[in-house]
Amino acid sequence: MATLIPNLFSFVQKFNAKFDEKAFEKETEKNFNSQQIAGLILQYKAQAKDLLHNKAEVLKVVQYIDLTTLAGDDTKDRVEALTDRALKPIPSNASIHCGAVCVYPQRVADVAKHLKANGKKLNIASVAAGFPSGQYHLKSKVLEVELTVADGATEIDIVISRAAALGGDWKTVYDEVHALKQACGKAHLKTILATGELKTLSNVYKASWASILAGSDFIKTSTGKESVNATLEVAYVMCQAIKRWHELTGEKVGFKPAGGIKTTEEALEYVALIKEILGDEWLNPELFRIGASSLLDDCLKHL
C-alpha cells in the first residue's frame, strides 16, 4: 500500500529540478541477483518462442521499431529511402508504419522536408548531444539539441555522461539530462544509459533513476556503438526503475532497448519481459520502442 502513495520527495524533486543526493541514495539502494534474473530471462525466452508463431505479435514489433541509420556516410537519398520504408515497412499493408525513423542531426532536415513534400507524418528521432560518446561540453550538447529540434526532430535520443556515472556523480548525470530535457522543448527525450559501459547492475539502476528524475520520457539501453549493447539483464533492471517510478508517481516512462537486436525472436524476448514486469499497457509505441537498423528484414520473413 505504501508504494502506491506518491512519494512527494521524488515528485517535487523532479519538477523543482533539484537533486537531493540523500533521497537518491536511499531510493536506489538495491541489490540485484544476477542468478535470479537469469532464471527469469529463461522464461522470457521461452515465451518469445511462442509469440513468434503469432503474426499479430510480429506486426506489433514492426510498429515498435525506430528504423535507424547512424552511419558516417548517410546521405539525403539514404535517409529519404529509409523514411519511405518506415512509412510503409510492409509493402502489402499500407496501414502499418514504424515507430519513428532515427537519423543523425545533420540528416533531420532532409527527413522533415521529404515528409512535408509527400504530405506524410512520421516521428523523427535523432541522436543529438554528442552521441555516441557524450564527451562534449554541455553547452554544445544543448545547442545541438536545440538545432536538431528546430530542423524538425520530434524525438531526441541523448546519452548520459559515463564519466560522471562511473565516478558516482549522479547529480551531474541528473543535471545534464535535466538541461537537455529543457532544450528539447516539445520534442520527447529518450535518454540512453550506454549500459554496456556502466559496469554494474546497481549503476544501471542508478542511471535509470537519475534519468527518470530529470524528466526523460524514455530510457534507452545503448547507442548501438558500445561493445555490449542491449541485453535482457539490463532491460530487467531498467524496467524495475520504470515500474518503481510508476508506483510512486503514476507516471509512465517508456523503454527502448537498442543496439544489436536483429531477429524477431530477440525483439519478442523484450516484449515478454515488458509484459511480465510492466504489463500490457506498456506494449504500444507510445511507451515501447526498439532501436534497430536491420530487425525489420527479419520481421518480414515471419509475416
Quote the least distance from Cβ 127 to ligand G3H, whole Å: 7
**Residue 36 Cα distances to 159, 199, 203, 215, 221, angstroms:** 29, 19, 18, 30, 21
First to last CA, the chain: 44
* 220 given a catalytic annotation: yes
Quote the least distance from Cβ 274 to ligand G3H, whole Å: 18
Q: Of the listed 14, 141, 181, 256, which one is catalytic?
A: 256
- The residue among 102 and 242 lying less far from ligand G3H, judged by its C-beta, is 102
Residues forming contacts to ligand G3H in the complex (CB under 6 A) are 68, 70, 102, 223-224, 258-260, 291-294
Residue nearest to ligand G3H (CB): 224
Q: Of the listed 14, 49, 220, 225, which one is catalytic?
A: 220
Closest C-alpha among 202, 294, 200, 214 to residue 240: 202
- The residue among 68 and 154 lying less far from ligand G3H, judged by its C-beta, is 68
Cα pseudo-dihedral 110, 220, 39, 48, rounded to 10: -30
- The residue among 161 and 221 lying less far from ligand G3H, judged by its C-beta, is 221
Quote the least distance from Cβ 202 to ligand G3H, whole Å: 24
- The residue among 259 and 285 lying less far from ligand G3H, judged by its C-beta, is 259
* 14 given a catalytic annotation: no
Where residue 260 falls (left for φ over 0; alpha for ψ -120 to 50; beta otherwise) is left
Question: Would the CA dihedral through 24, 128, 231, 218 be positive or negative?
Answer: positive
Cα pseudo-dihedral 72, 78, 79, 83, rounded to 10: -150
Quote the least distance from Cβ 196 to ligand G3H, whole Å: 12
Q: Give the catalytic positions in this structure.
A: 220, 256
